[in-house]
Structure 1
């Protein structure tokens, strides 16, 4: 299992538009084979922060979905990013 998690930094004045513009990507990801969870959300405290969380069954479906990554328009809006991929070796109930 893989988890992709972290955050993006965008102009606070453009953050809500950025998140809204990601709705189709979230919808497509959630319908993709191997996607267990996918969200791109506005942070409740930082007006320029966009939180990213993805959970995939394996690397192959993630790479098949990811393709070229964000569109040029979305990429241009990202001022900074700290998003990492984590390989999970075991899963259990809390």
Structure 2
């Protein structure tokens, strides 16, 4: 599995506009083959931060989707941030010690 996780900074007055611009992208991406989850959401502590999270079954599925989709242009200026890709080798429920790893 692959996780893309990070955040961007925008003006607090434009944060909702930025998130709304990605609403249809989020809905469409969640239906893509291999996509387990996507969230582009407001940070609960910092009014200038937007958190980004994507979970995919494989890097290949993520890349196939990325080359055929259009990422929205929100028109909102980004003032920094970071996005990183993580390769996940095993998965377990952290609240159930008896859960087997996938």
**Greater helix content:** 1
Within a 5 Å distance, the mapping from 1:1-94 to structure 2 comes to 1-67=1-67, 70-71=71-72, 73-74=73-74, 77-94=77-94
Cα distance per residue 1:6-48 (max 9 Å; x no partner): 1111111110010011101100110000000110001111111
Evaluate the alpha carbon distance shift between residue 70 and residue 77 of structure 1 in structure 2; reply closer, same or farther with a 3 A threshold. farther
Gaps of 5+ in 1: none
Query: 2:9, 2:49 within 8 Å by CA — same for their partners in 1?
Result: yes
**Greater strand content:** 1
Query: How many pairs does the alignment contain?
Result: 93
**Separation (CA, whole Å) in 2 of partners of 1:36 and 1:7:** 19
Structure number with bigger Rg: 2
Evaluate the alpha carbon distance shift between residue 89 and residue 69 of structure 1 in structure 2; reply closer, same or farther with a 3 A threshold. farther
* TM-fit CA distance, 1:61: 1.2
Gaps of 5+ in 2: 95-102
Over aligned residues, Cα RMSD in angstroms?
1.7
